[in-house]
Structure 1
């Protein structure tokens, strides 16, 4: 990363859950964070305020991923925000966190299901990197958020697991291509994390929470901060010799 320059970051899906924790962690570590969100402006505002309350700097960028013009809209919003808050458009850290689920097995999955999950979980990160590559400074960091579902058979989320497998293949290839610029590309693969995405289901079905906790070697559910800490490390100068790797953050689940 450019010596002496203020670090900048973009976190897609950065207003809620794991993305929110990553946003706050990078903000506290000194990065100016562009907080991407799709629809929930209130959640994005809260994430930005949390960074600012901790002494950091952040700004929201709204784009619903999926439509053909979404990547350009997001990139332009990031460029405009960076110019306003930093004075330039250089980007140091890109965290591809935004994603959707696809709850279907081989008997029920449809073409529409598969198209949608690949559009958001695979195509969006690929073409966002392509669009932002001229902005990404030498020595930058790209972290892609995957899932343990890519390693362990989960037939009921077939399309989701397939999309994360594709994302990890993308990460390895990208790491090889961007290495000469000193840019690292790594994947973080969480297990079940207790976020608002899962909290209501786990409240209604506490047996699921107990089962998930028992699968880890620590006997508890994962928290968003457990993932954010790993992302913060991979986004730092301390992780300069790590690239093309998959870091599983599951608390030892499925060992």
Structure 2
């Protein structure tokens, strides 16, 4: 039987890295469902960057994961096309650079919905078809463990994701579904494209390895966690030794 994987927010950044790592190790009949938000051009670029064989394994579905209704449409399509899921990667996440006093309720709520509330209900809706012994991975963040000044709401939601990861272990124990999270630090993604050299230098001084991480380094670790049969309830840091000295 084919292995079925779902990745939310999988056409860019860390999500894309994880998707491509899974594709590189997939079988001929495996299927990978990948959600994307509003950037159709980016999704098409991701698709066409893959080999012809891997393109046949991909199912790209547009879904705004700040919306419960769009998440449910995403789930409905998956349930129509498959009766099982092996791996679920809850990767989608958004943020904004804003001071605490500048947040609006609407902005705060959209980030909370995307990063926390909708992922909670995605797991709930998919739980009946996740296979016994399946694997769930959340993309958390070291910002959920170490307060950063750039985005309060992002850190709050990622801290909640870490707690959710541990809490779901008991909820999913009857089906022996493993639940883990990764907590990346500063990773070289488009989120940092507007940083000044001075900003990079300031952050790198706080990292023991004196550099940002690569997407491939995070994807490699994520893949190993997904397939590890004994990891459960773990939050795995990958931050190059941030703030260790």
Please report the TM-score for the alignment, with normalisation by the length of structure 2: 0.91
- In the other structure, the counterpart of 1:116 is 110
**Structure 1 residue 98: Cα displacement:** 0.6
- In the other structure, the counterpart of 1:193 is 187
CA distance, structure 1, for counterparts of residue 204 and residue 33 of structure 2: 33
CA distance, structure 2, for counterparts of residue 49 and residue 143 of structure 1: 26
- Indicate if the aligned counterparts of 1:71 and 1:131 stay in contact, CA closer than 8 A: no
- In the other structure, the counterpart of 1:243 is 232
**Structure 1 residue 113: Cα displacement:** 2.6
CA distance, structure 2, for counterparts of residue 77 and residue 39 of structure 1: 18
Alignment of 1:136-151 (within 5 A): 136-151=130-145
- In the other structure, the counterpart of 2:20 is 24
**Mean Cα deviation higher: 208-217 or 31-40:** 208-217
1:182-233 alpha-carbon deviations (Å, 9 max, x no partner): 211011011111112212x13xx01112233333222221111111111101
- Indicate if the aligned counterparts of 2:66 and 2:111 stay in contact, CA closer than 8 A: no
RMSD between aligned alpha carbons? 1.8
4+ runs deviating over 4 angstroms: 53-56
Q: Which among 212, 216, 237 is matched to residue 203 of structure 2?
A: 212
Alignment of 1:181 with 2:175, yes or no, is yes
CA distance, structure 2, for counterparts of residue 154 and residue 219 of structure 1: 18
Alignment of 1:12 with 2:17, yes or no, is no
Aligned residues: 240
Secondary structure of the 1:14 match is: coil
From the superposition, tell whether residues 192 and 129 of structure 1 become closer, same or farther in structure 2 (CA, over 3 Å).
Answer: same
Alignment of 1:42 with 2:33, yes or no, is no
- Indicate if the aligned counterparts of 1:113 and 1:159 stay in contact, CA closer than 8 A: no
1:124-169 alpha-carbon deviations (Å, 9 max, x no partner): 1001111111111111111001111111122431111111111111
Alignment of 1:254 with 2:240, yes or no, is no
- In the other structure, the counterpart of 2:129 is 135
CA distance, structure 1, for counterparts of residue 25 and residue 235 of structure 2: 23
Alignment of 1:223 with 2:214, yes or no, is yes
Secondary structure of the 1:215 match is: coil
Unaligned regions of 5+ residues in structure 2, if any? none
**Mean Cα deviation higher: 206-215 or 173-182:** 206-215
**Structure 1 residue 117: Cα displacement:** 1.2
CA distance, structure 2, for counterparts of residue 112 and residue 125 of structure 1: 18
CA distance, structure 2, for counterparts of residue 189 and residue 118 of structure 1: 17
